[in-house]
Structure 1
């Protein structure tokens, strides 16, 4: 590659035509030289300043940047590669398969082998490259191919394991599009992403909203509906002055996930932003009616509500969740019978759960026993079901280990909350805001008193 650049330098002195203009060749040659020299000397701050001054030149010479990248090594020249790929990211046409494949290969090297020290100097640029990498993989219907590079890129960008980055959002997005729910579960289960630092990671409010929304979707795919409710709630209750589309969709799915998890509508936190509260009251009638139908404990009414608003649920891509609510209502009805009866006929179960046949009732009972929802045996000749206490031994080693893990987790959360509280108490911006709100509240109280 360097021999070609030398040839280009020579060509610039002669009148013979070249694929590059002389000035472009000189600029690119100088760029490679500077990246190599300053990286070798670990003078990354000086290199950063130089690259920032050359961004416009890179954009002007986009076609030639493909010739520069092979000469750079990710671990040694991450800073230079980030700037070059960021310049390319804005111009790669997703409809051009050859250009997309080339861009994916170039990004993959950086994401898998990049130097954390250099990458963390330009978090916003690196996040932009990762987002374009994810979009390019989706454009060629290969989101799974982007999963491992993005997982590694998220770790590279993190100043610590507790830091949330925009790349975590992209990891969840491609995992969902690839239907790779285990990958999403590993991220959600293994990470306590409690640190949000815009300066260090380039994170924006939109990244947090979408992360919680995607996390809720992943939990729905994993049938972890209680966790889904928690993530969707974090999304739609975020502080805001406007109604964000992700918040609206999160609330819709939160209603369905809550019905599946608890049989009730989600409790709306008091700190929900007023624009969202107003929208919820009138903007989601289909979901309100479905929740009201669920509350009647009548599968027929619930099916009627789903049929009535089927087009709405299908448009929102929530029809599958809505239909699952019927089965959840039936299971909830059968589970309530176990609390009142020790023995019951299949006919009585079918009548109580408003099922159409004994076979359907038997199928639900068998499925619930297999899932561990209830403990029961079926006397097929007599058509009777005998309910019993759960066979779980809560004094088993597994139960003790689970309890210890839960206690340890609770202690860890409490410790982190105390640390965050201590940090907030000494944060000048937070203290100034609290004082302003107190003064404003006092003025309002005084004004009301004077009005009286």
Structure 2
């Protein structure tokens, strides 16, 4: 795929096939070279591409010129295929615990424009979006700004148990959170989201311990269990969980053993970040470099999109009408008037 199209910016049926097979084979990392590329185009429509020559050796960034509806490089794609690609991609990122990338892919699905109906694929993506938001940011994340208000009402209605779970998480009420998990266990299993819900409970413990570090300088493990858990668990279990957080770098603290072997371990939170300032600046510099490369890539593809739209039949018809009005001494139609361009607003109506 990358030899044919190094940018992988044109969505093809092979994209969907690859991520589906990687999910089924549990070979998740094999899909990353494609998933990490940004989709910017669909193959040209057959009626447009049939009248234009197709050439493979046309230089970098021009794969849209030869990956067309009649070139044979891709089968016909539907909106369902587009949504499934991003849902499957989000699931792959979830298995690799790359939560930020998973949020991006799921956000593409839930913000898909729709008028009269919402696809079941979009609803399933929103359910996963809620859980991934809790795992990544510890809260119910706001959807992308382009998500329509009526679509959000549908999501909140059909995914009510997930919203209730997120609200209990945000309030820091472990008893209610555990109650929501137990009450809707059949729903989590039916939606194949029970694994994510189980990780939400672990994330609640992690977030609770981090919040305690903003209040206390040090705590015994027993006091920590009383603060975090509704019924204090065994000290060894809690201490093991805290040790895992420290070793993974999630918690900036240290466990101190007392001189008495039978004494309680003490968790001391670090007041100053442990990483050097230079290391932090290098990380920021690396992120800025990646963002710059992404912007350059998007600008390049945006120019191709503008060119394609400018050569479309709708645009040419509009220009011809404008010239006809100018020749007859009339006034060009305003943007609010109809100029012969029909837009199908019900993009997802056939996916219900």
Q: Normalising by structure 2, what TM-score? A: 0.72
Q: Partners in 2 of 1:330 and 1:235 — Cα distance? A: 30
Stretch moving more, 357-366 or 368-377: 357-366
- Within-5 A mapping of 1:34-433: 154-155=1-2, 158=5, 161-189=8-36, 191-199=37-45, 200=68, 201=74, 202-241=76-115, 242-273=117-148, 276-354=151-229, 356-357=232-233, 358-381=235-258, 382-388=264-270, 389-396=272-279, 402-423=283-304, 427-428=309-310
- What is the Cα-based RMSD across aligned positions, in Å? 2.7
Per-residue deviation, 1:255: 0.4
Q: Partners in 2 of 1:436 and 1:158 — Cα distance? A: 41
Name structure 1 gaps, 5 residues minimum. Answer: 1-153, 442-452
Per-residue CA deviations over 1:81-127 (Å, capped at 9, x if unaligned) read xxxxxxxxxxxxxxxxxxxxxxxxxxxxxxxxxxxxxxxxxxxxxxx
Q: Partners in 1 of 2:217 and 2:142 — Cα distance? A: 33
Structure number with greater CO (CA < 8 Å, separation at least 6) is 2
- Distance of aligned partners of 1:159 and 1:408 in 2 relative to their CA distance in 1, 3 Å threshold: closer
Q: Partners in 2 of 1:327 and 1:437 — Cα distance? A: 57
Q: Partners in 2 of 1:196 and 1:413 — Cα distance? A: 19
Give the helix-richer structure, 1 or 2: 1
Per-residue CA deviations over 1:34-55 (Å, capped at 9, x if unaligned) read xxxxxxxxxxxxxxxxxxxxxx
- Distance of aligned partners of 1:425 and 1:264 in 2 relative to their CA distance in 1, 3 Å threshold: same
Task: Name the SS of the counterpart of 2:147 in structure 1.
Answer: coil
- Distance of aligned partners of 1:437 and 1:403 in 2 relative to their CA distance in 1, 3 Å threshold: farther
Partner of 2:336: 439
Per-residue CA deviations over 1:286-344 (Å, capped at 9, x if unaligned) read 11211121122122211100111111111000111112111101110101122222212
Tell me if structure 2 keeps the 8 A contact 1:255–1:287.
yes
Q: Partners in 2 of 1:377 and 1:402 — Cα distance? A: 24
Task: Name the SS of the counterpart of 2:204 in structure 1.
Answer: helix
Tell me if structure 1 keeps the 8 A contact 2:134–2:200.
yes
Q: Partners in 2 of 1:261 and 1:211 — Cα distance? A: 22
Q: Partners in 1 of 2:226 and 2:334 — Cα distance? A: 58
Q: Partners in 2 of 1:173 and 1:181 — Cα distance? A: 10
Q: Normalising by structure 1, what TM-score? A: 0.57
Task: Name the SS of the counterpart of 2:206 in structure 1.
Answer: helix
Task: Name the SS of the counterpart of 2:97 in structure 1.
Answer: coil
Task: Name the SS of the counterpart of 1:164 in structure 2.
Answer: coil
- Distance of aligned partners of 1:378 and 1:156 in 2 relative to their CA distance in 1, 3 Å threshold: closer
Per-residue deviation, 1:250: 0.4
Q: Partners in 2 of 1:346 and 1:258 — Cα distance? A: 28
Q: Partners in 2 of 1:345 and 1:293 — Cα distance? A: 26
Q: Partners in 1 of 2:290 and 2:6 — Cα distance? A: 23
Name structure 2 gaps, 5 residues minimum. Answer: 46-67, 69-73, 259-263, 319-331, 339-352
Tell me if structure 2 keeps the 8 A contact 1:210–1:246.
yes
- Distance of aligned partners of 1:377 and 1:424 in 2 relative to their CA distance in 1, 3 Å threshold: same
Per-residue deviation, 1:239: 1.8
Tell me if structure 1 keeps the 8 A contact 2:40–2:301.
no
- Distance of aligned partners of 1:402 and 1:383 in 2 relative to their CA distance in 1, 3 Å threshold: closer
- Distance of aligned partners of 1:277 and 1:359 in 2 relative to their CA distance in 1, 3 Å threshold: same
Residues paired across the two proteins, number:
283
